[in-house]
Amino acid sequence: MKTALTYDDITLIPAYSEIESRQNIDLTTQLTNNYSLRIPLIASPMDTVCDSKMAIAMARLGGVGCIHRFMSIEEQAEEVQNVKFAVYDNIFVTPFDSDFEIPIMAAIGANGDYLERAKELTNSGANVILIDVAHGHHKFVKEALFNLKKILPSYVDIIAGNVATSHAAIDLEFWGADAIRVGIGGGSLCTTRLKTGFGIPNITSLEDCSTAVNVPVIACGGIRDSGDIAKALAVGASSVILGSLLAGTDETPGPIIDGNVKRYRGAASRETKLVHNQSQRNVEGASTYVYYKGPVAAVIEGLMDGLRSALSYAGANNLTEFTPSYMNVTSAGVHEAKPHLIK
């Protein structure tokens, strides 16, 4: 059996570079088969991370926000309409080419009202639908992909997941997924591995899945800094989903509490289920507070500065050229990489 690796287990190896200015590095990437992003970032479909306010901000910055599904169909459709209006009806002018079709993304489940929800979201302007379930290698997801492909317009792409193995990724691609969300048990508030013992560390699952399929792979969970983003992209991800890094910003849902914190909770947490009147079973997430961070643009700018620097160390002008090698590191190597104060 091979050893499974996550972000702290590897370090990327510097290569010869002729990059003269890091600011000229192109971070354009594929979100799905038919939609691209100017930066490889997705705001997570969590109720304390992404509604229309965050999705609009992400669109302006070149990424995308996925409108969470923990609301009525009508409420979620209205959130999507808000994003569409802002993006296409000139509440703001995006700093990108006018011929660049901006993805508008929203989440659904894989049973219950998912077909009605998907149709309403699409009618309201969504062109990317995310099937948002914890275990994507499942009969319900297979049936959902088949049914959604039958009823939705051809311009609507569908992202499916979460999965962690090449077998699962191959099946999702065969079932019709236009991109695959990879990562089980690695999120900052996810307790799946603790509660069930199942999951695969992120680097290994991303490598296995991305080499097995031809559709874009999205890294989900465990991203703590721009270095982790670089590592995810280096081993095969086309983009990454962010939750905790964006939590606590102005654009996340919820008030600032006591002047310095905001609420942040996992999608499968007991609190999320309680707030949205769901059955409080199969709890596989936690809830917490995060420090208030100010505008999300400042957070994204810092992350993308770090990512452009990463590409420069690999001699890469763009993400297509970004294929650095890596080596495993010991716990001492992990410790050495962290900042240390002089005593």
Residues recognised as catalytic: 190, 270
Q: What is the DSSP string of 63-102?
A: SEEEE--SS-HHHHHHHHHHHHHHHHTTSS--SS-TTSPP
Point out which residues pair with 129 in neighbouring strands. 106, 158
Q: What share of the chain is helix, strand, coil (3-state, %, to 5)?
A: 35, 20, 45
CB 264 within 8 A of CB 247: yes
328/325 Cα distance (integer angstroms): 10
What is the total residue count of the chain?
Answer: 343
CB 320 within 8 A of CB 28: no
Nearest to 249 by CA among 38, 7, 39, 55: 55
- φ/ψ of residue 65, rounded to 5: -110, 140
194/268 Cα distance (integer angstroms): 14
Q: Which residues contact 41 (CB under 8 A, 6 or more apart)?
A: 58, 61, 63, 64, 229, 239, 240, 242, 300, 303
Q: Which residues contact 256 (CB under 8 A, 6 or more apart)?
A: 262, 292
Burial (CB count <10 Å: 0-12, 13-18, 19+), residue 279: exposed
